[in-house]
Amino acid sequence: MSDPIIAQKKSYALDVEPGKYAWCACGQSKNQPYCDGSHKGNEFRPIIVEISEKKTVHWCGCKHSQNKPYCDGSHKKL
């Protein structure tokens, strides 16, 4: 498997409403941290999560988290 493109070396801390979200796993989306379909033609697929309450989410920006789609601090080792 190829390595994803690092979109940024920090998390995307965003306030989100309840609903489904498609997190970009490849790093190519122009709508980071969300998928815009740029992965087509490679092995990456978005991770779909359902958020049940309004809250701040720290989405992984480096795409190397061991807790995808959420930041686990892996960007500090890149």
The closest alpha carbon to 64, from 55, 72, 52, 54, belongs to 72
To 5 degrees, how large is the angle CA 37–CA 38–CA 42?
A: 105
Q: Taking 80 as the threshold, does the pLDDT of residue 26 lie above it?
A: yes
Q: Taking 80 as the threshold, does the pLDDT of residue 1 lie above it?
A: no
What distance in Å separates the CA atoms of residue 39 and residue 49, rounded to the nearest whole number? Answer: 18
Which residues partner with 13 through β-bridges? 58
Domain ranges of the chain: 12-77
The amino acid at 17: E
Global pTM reads 0.94
Which tens digits make up the pLDDT trace of 58-75?
999 999 999 999 999 999
Residues of the chain with pLDDT > 70, as a percent, come to 99
